[in-house]
Amino acid sequence: MDNALTLEPNTATTALPIVMVVDDTAANLMLVNDLLQDRYTVKIASSGSRALKIAHSDKAPDLILLDILMPEMDGYEVLRQLKASPTTCDIPVIFLTARNEERDEQMGLDLGAVDYITKPISPPLLLARVKAQLLLKEARDTLLRRNQEDTRRFEVAMAQQMELNALKSTFVSMTTHEFRTPLATILSSYELLQDYNDRMSPTAREDTLQSIAKAARRMVTMLDQVLTLGKADAKLLEFNPQPLNLPAFCLQLRDEALAGLAAHPSEHAGPLTVHLELAQDTVLADEKLLRHILGNLLSNALKYSPCGQSASFHIHNDSDAVVFTVQDHGIGIPADELPHLFGSFHRASNVGDIPGTGLGLSIVKRAVESHGGSIGVQSELGRGTLFTVQIPQHMA
């Protein structure tokens, strides 16, 4: 009987709300279809089983007009099954039936129907109630979407807050640990000078003063890293590209990295070689940010290399980019930690007591992004690490 009647919806209204009419009488289906088709997309079903299939289809109805007295499966049972399914339980159902006993209406409403219309049908009444229920459904759906969006935003905000709290905790722990050592050095050196200055040799006094200066520089470096990272996170990192003599700049960075290492004899490593293969010496770049990028990478290459192991620094052109590679043969990075390498305060688990804040590579990544460039890393535990930085090439 399901195939005995086929009514096509008005093609001009396919984007309109979908109303499904369920009745085993063809005349009733045609009557309701004629009343609704100019305002809604109408789907019809001449049995309860067919109605359930349509309700579970990709284009489920927005409202169902359901007859009660049908063979095989009556309207009450159809409604029970609709309400039992998570995919159809929220579809509003209006009973449209000849049964006009009060107990029939009560039973329908108890099962979850939103309205109850008795036959013979009053067209104005039917249209008014269909419109009202569709408006109510639209309002409920809109409210549900907003609630879901609010829930998602709340969950995202909570996740961000938890991450922020974790970062704050890490920051407090890091700064407490990292500042304690230089502060202790400054304090002990001051006390030494205060109590024994007249008995110290000129060399001993100079060494003590140098210890104070070294500790102060370490603290200034850490504060500069924290402030730079804060600016980057707030999207306030200044990008001021200027003509830069790249060969001279890179050689200067090499000398600074080696000089910085020489100030820490316990961290002595092998030589740092520089290879330049540039079509043109002058590029347009932000010298301060580029110093953050390359200075950090060179410092790390030397710092995390065993004594006697060399590191290399290559600079060359590749299509429309300047490519910098820094390679060492040091301790390497555990493979499972590579995805977190550029996160704030992250330090690899195998660094031991080698000092560091976990901020350098985070700043490096942001400085590279300020240039519109990219950074990649390859590493093998115990054999070394290769960083590759690509900066779009702007020749002056």
Tens-place pLDDT, residues 37-60: 999 999 999 999 999 999 999 889
Q: How confident is the model at residue 103 (pLDDT cuts 50, 70, 90)?
A: confident
Q: Are 292 and 228 in contact (CB under 8 A)?
A: yes
pLDDT tens-digit map of 49-102: 999 999 999 889 999 999 999 988 999 999 999 999 999 999 999 998 888 788
Q: How confident is the model at residue 248 (pLDDT cuts 50, 70, 90)?
A: very high
CATH topology of domain 18-121: Rossmann fold (3.40.50)
Q: What is the DSSP string of 104-125?
A: HHHHHHHHT-SEEEESSP-HHH
Dig out the tokens for 292 from the structure.
């953050």
Residue 53: its pLDDT value, please? 94
Residue labelled with tokens 């700043």? 363
pLDDT at 396 over 50: no
Which CATH number does 157-234 carry?
Answer: 1.10.287.130
pLDDT at 264 over 60: no
Q: What is the DSSP string of 160-180?
A: HHHHHHHHHHHHHHHHHHHHH
Name the helix (H) or strand (E) containing 53: helix 48-55
pLDDT at 216 over 70: yes
pLDDT at 325 over 70: yes
Name the helix (H) or strand (E) containing 147: helix 123-196
Report the top-level CATH class of 242-392.
Answer: alpha beta
Share of the chain above pLDDT 70, in %: 83
Mean pLDDT (the chain) is: 83
Residue 3: its pLDDT value, please? 42
CB within 8 Å of 82: residues ≥ 6 apart? 52, 55, 64, 88, 89, 91, 93, 112
Distance from CA of residue 241 to its chain's centroid?
A: 29
More confident residue, 269 or 336: 336
Residue 104: its pLDDT value, please? 83
pLDDT at 266 over 80: no
Residue 172: its pLDDT value, please? 64
Q: Are 114 and 149 in contact (CB under 8 A)?
A: no
Buried b (16+ CB within 10 A) or exposed e, 349-382: eeeeeeebbbbbbbbbbbbbebbebebebebeee
β-bridge mates for residue 65, sequence order:
21, 94
Q: Are 31 and 55 in contact (CB under 8 A)?
A: no
* C-alpha distance across the termini of the chain, in Å: 81
Q: What CA–CA distance (Å, rounded) separates 21 from 8?
A: 13
Which has the minimum average pLDDT: 43-47, 155-159, 303-307, 319-323? 303-307
CB within 8 Å of 346: residues ≥ 6 apart? 337, 340, 358, 361, 362
Q: Are 20 and 51 in contact (CB under 8 A)?
A: yes
pLDDT at 234 over 70: no
Q: What CA–CA distance (Å, rounded) separates 262 from 258?
A: 6
Q: How confident is the model at residue 9 (pLDDT cuts 50, 70, 90)?
A: very low
Q: What CA–CA distance (Å, rounded) separates 134 from 141?
A: 10
Residue 356: its pLDDT value, please? 66
Quick one: average pLDDT of 176-180? 66
Quick one: average pLDDT of 238-262? 85
Residue 40: its pLDDT value, please? 94
Quick one: average pLDDT of 278-294? 88
Quick one: average pLDDT of 203-226? 80
Q: Are 374 and 391 in contact (CB under 8 A)?
A: no
Q: How confident is the model at residue 111 (pLDDT cuts 50, 70, 90)?
A: very high
Q: How confident is the model at residue 280 (pLDDT cuts 50, 70, 90)?
A: confident
Q: What CA–CA distance (Å, rounded) separates 341 from 348?
A: 8
Domain ranges in the chain? 18-121, 157-234, 242-392
Whether residue 9 has a cis bond before it, omega within 30° of 0: no
pLDDT at 335 over 80: yes
The residue length of the chain stands at 396
Distance from CA of residue 66 to its chain's centroid?
A: 46
Name the helix (H) or strand (E) containing 392: strand 384-392
pLDDT tens-digit map of 362-382: 888 888 988 889 999 999 988
Q: What are phi and psi of 192, to 5 degrees?
A: -65, -45
Q: Are 279 and 317 in contact (CB under 8 A)?
A: yes
More confident residue, 233 or 241: 241
Kindly report the CA angle at 273 between 288 and 263, in degrees rounded to 5? 65
Distance from CA of residue 109 to its chain's centroid?
A: 46
pLDDT tens-digit map of 17-38: 999 999 999 999 999 999 999 9
